[in-house]
């Protein structure tokens, strides 16, 4: 609750709330049809009518950014979910089983962490094809290694706690101990890390859509908007810098709120 008195935290929450509304109900915030081009209104600077200006086809940039939130934020969220679920399962098994299995799994986790996330995502995208879902899978896989490591260290800590030994003495089976005792107690650091990972995932997803591996062209993904505006940097820099700044603001907001969640413990 003390967080609510910090202006940075509150501002972060407001930005996140707007971003969520934009991705779930873009029609509430958009002022124009994001796909409609007005031939006479091309490459206009920001104005009261077109808040962020218009692009080379005369489409309203503001509305395109609003409609792009759904694609960009949903793939980033999916990436975090993939990373958490895959990482948590691997870490849980590795830490709980222990011994040689643990050793072998963790060496592969080391490698997963060693290969740069972007390259890992590129392999997945090249194999599965382009699009928001394969992007999310690629980015999520890149993050899974660190989640596995955190989860495993939590499991190792909890495994030797008295309540787990008590449950074992009482004859509770391993899967039941995992679900009832280990998982709930290990969840908190993993959730805090997932919140921090969200900012990174938004950055990775927008970088990959910037490179052209997202949904095909008319889709207003944030990274794709920046990329489309690149040809006009000399004359209309706002076309790519405004969507880029939107990404930056959202990432800063997510990181700020995530840090408070993590620091709450």
Question: Least Å distance between CB 90 and other proteins?
Answer: 13
Selected from 206, 215, 221, 228, the binder of other proteins by CB under 8 A is: 206
CB of 230 to other proteins, least distance (A): 7
From the CB of 169, what's the least distance to other proteins, in Å? 36
**Could you tell me which stretch among 40-48, 86-94, 127-135, 182-190 binds other proteins (CB under 8 A)?**
127-135
* Interaction between residue 117 and other proteins (CB under 8 A): yes
Q: Does 155 bind other proteins (CB under 8 A)?
A: no
**Among the residue ranges 78-86, 89-97, 179-187, 251-259, the one whose residues contact other proteins (CB under 8 A):** 251-259
> Helix 7-24 to helix 238-263 angle, to the nearest 10 degrees?
120
The yes or no reply on residue 101 touching other proteins (CB under 8 A) is no
Q: Is 66 in the site for other proteins (CB under 8 A)?
A: no
Task: Give the nearer residue to other proteins in terms of CB position, either 92 or 141.
Answer: 141
111 makes contact with other proteins (CB under 8 A): yes
Cα 22 to Cα 1, 17, 29, 62, 70: the distances in Å are 26, 9, 7, 11, 7
Does the protein bind other proteins through residue 129 (CB under 8 A)? yes
Least separation in angstroms between CB 24 and other proteins: 23
d(CA 259, CA 191): 12
Q: Which of 51, 207, 261, 262 binds other proteins (CB under 8 A)?
A: 207
Footprint of other proteins on this chain (CB under 8 A)?
107-108, 110-112, 114-120, 122-129, 199, 203, 206-207, 210-213, 223, 226-227, 230, 233-234, 237, 240-241, 244-245, 247-248, 251-252, 255
């Amino acid at each position: 609750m003390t967080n609510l008195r910090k202006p940075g935290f509150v501002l972060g929450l407001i930005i996140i709330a707007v971003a969520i509304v934009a991705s779930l109900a873009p029609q509430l915030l958009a002022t124009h049809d994001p796909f409609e081009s007005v031939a006479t209104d091309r490459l206009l600077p920001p104005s009261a009518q077109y808040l962020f200006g218009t692009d080379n086809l005369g489409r309203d940039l503001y509305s395109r950014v609003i409609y792009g939130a759904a694609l960009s934020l949903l793939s980033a969220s999916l990436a975090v979910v993939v990373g958490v679920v895959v990482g948590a399962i691997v870490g849980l098994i590795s830490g709980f089983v222990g011994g040689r299995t643990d050793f072998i799994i963790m060496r592969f986790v080391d490698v997963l962490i060693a290969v740069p996330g972007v390259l890992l995502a590129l392999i997945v995208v090249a194999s599965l094809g382009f699009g928001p879902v394969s992007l999310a899978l690629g980015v999520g896989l890149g993050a899974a290694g660190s989640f596995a490591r955190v989860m495993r260290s939590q499991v190792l800590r909890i495994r030797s706690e008295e309540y787990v030994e008590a449950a074992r003495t009482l004859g509770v089976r391993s899967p039941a101990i995992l679900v009832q005792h280990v998982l709930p107690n290990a969840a908190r650091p993993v959730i805090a890390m997932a919140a921090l990972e969200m900012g990174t995932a938004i950055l990775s997803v927008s970088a990959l859509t910037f490179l052209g591996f997202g949904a095909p062209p008319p889709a207003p993904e944030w990274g794709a908007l920046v990329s489309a505006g690149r040809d006009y940097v000399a004359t209309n820099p706002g076309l790519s810098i405004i969507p880029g700044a939107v990404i930056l603001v959202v990432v800063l907001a997510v990181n700020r709120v995530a840090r408070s969640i993590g620091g709450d413990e």
